[in-house]
Structures are given as structure tokens and as C-alpha cells.
Amino acid sequence: MNHIRTIGRLSLVLALSASLAACGINTIPAQDEAVKAQWGEVQNQYQRRADLIPNLVATVKGYAAQEAKVLTDVTQARASATQVSVDASTITDDAKFREFQAAQDRLTGVLGRLMMIQENYPDLKSNQNFLALQAQLEGTENRIAIARRDYNQAAQRYNTTLRSFPQNIWAATVHRGQEPANLFSASAQAQTAPTVSFEPTPPAPSGPPTAVPQAAPPAAPK
């Protein structure tokens, strides 16, 4: 008899587990882990970029030391970006997430300025070390864009699940500690199209300035 009861209880537990699985009770934690995995990839690619910058700055400095302002700005922006402490909890912490994104976007902006100065230094443009670093940086920027896109897609799926029936029932009960994930938004630089002009700069006027004729004084009254 006890054996039969044990089998009956086991069958009930299995049936209940199957029923809960069919209702998607594990969907929220599974998607939460997927978001965290994509977030880890975002951090990995940003760290890859940060690791490239010291060598890039040193190479540029060897050819364009007079560009001290740009070099200093890049170094400081890198320091600020790497000082922002982030972990898995940052995903749902709006203030910390925005701080991280803002720091990385600032670094993106000054890196763009650094890469533009090469046009003024032919020797730098042809330097093999610089070309290799430039290629690595471009590849890393592409990886960052892909990592951010994949993270946003995972976060959107997760956020939608938290609000959709019947998952919102689990979100309000069993998984009530789960919070929506923040999304990356386009940076200010991405919102503004760059201005490119091919018009030559007009030469400065040479020689003494042309005298402007003065009006004759009014005649004295008779």
C-alpha cells in the first residue's frame, strides 16, 4: 500500500512539474540569464577597445605630439570609462546603466577625433603599427555594435515576457524580484550627421587693405 502511495505522490509531483513547465514558469529566469550573457559580451568588447587605446595613443604621439589636447582627451575619456563599475545588476539600475553608456559614448567621440588627425600626418597614415591598430579598433567598434544590438534584442524579449500574459502572473508572484532590463539608445553622435565639405578654404587677402571712399563733408551754409 505504501509503495502504491509513493508512486502516486511521485506521479503527482511529475505531473505538477510538467504542468508548471508548460505554463512557462522557467521562461523568465531563462531569458534573464540570456540578457546577462549578452551584457557580458558588451562588457567584453568595450574592454577590448580600452586595451587597444594605450598603444594607439603612444603610436600617434610619436608622430603627432603637438596634438596634445586630443591625446589627453582620449586618455582621460578612457580612464573615465574604465572607472565606471558595472556588473549584472547594472542591467536593471537605470542611473548606473546610463552612466556607463555616457562614459563609453564620450570615449567613442574623442576616439573619432583621434583617428581624424591622421589626415594631417602622412607618415602616421603609412605606419604599419598604426594601420594594424586602426584595423583592430575598427573591428572592435563593429563587435561593440553587434554586441549592443544582440543585448537589446535579448532585453526586449525579456521585458516583453515580464509584461505578457500568462508570464506577468509569474512575474508578480514567483519571480516578483525580476526587474525590466535597460536598453542601449543611440548616442548623440549617431543622431547628428557629420558635416563634410570639399570646398577649398578661400585664401586670405594679401597686400594693404583697400581704402573705403568716404562721403564728402556737407557744404558749409552760405
pLDDT digits (tens, 9 = 90+) for 155-207: 999 999 999 988 889 888 988 889 999 999 986 554 443 333 323 334 434 44
Longest dimension (CA), the chain: 141
Write down the residue that cell numbers 604599419 correspond to: 128
**57 domain residue, yes or no:** yes
pTM of the shown model: 0.75
Residue 140 has pLDDT above 80, yes or no: yes
**39 domain residue, yes or no:** yes
Number of domains in the chain: 1
pLDDT tier at 24, thresholds 50, 70, 90:
confident
**114 domain residue, yes or no:** yes
Domain that holds residue 167: 33-175
**221 domain residue, yes or no:** no
Q: Please give the average per-residue pLDDT across 52-63, as a whole number.
A: 96
Phi, psi of 206 (to 5 degrees): -110, 160
CATH number (domain holding residue 147) = 1.20.1440.20
**188 domain residue, yes or no:** no
**6 domain residue, yes or no:** no
**74 domain residue, yes or no:** yes
Residue 21 has pLDDT above 80, yes or no: no
Which residues in 56-84 are b (16+ Cβ under 10 Å) and which e?
A: bbebbeebbeebeebbebbeebbeebbee
pLDDT of residue 174: 84
**1 domain residue, yes or no:** no
Q: Please give the average per-residue pLDDT across 212-218, as a whole number.
A: 43
Residue 110 has pLDDT above 90, yes or no: yes
Phi, psi of 218 (to 5 degrees): -65, 145
The three cell numbers locating residue 157: 524579449
For CA atoms 64, 69, 74, 78, the dihedral sign is: positive
pLDDT of residue 220: 47
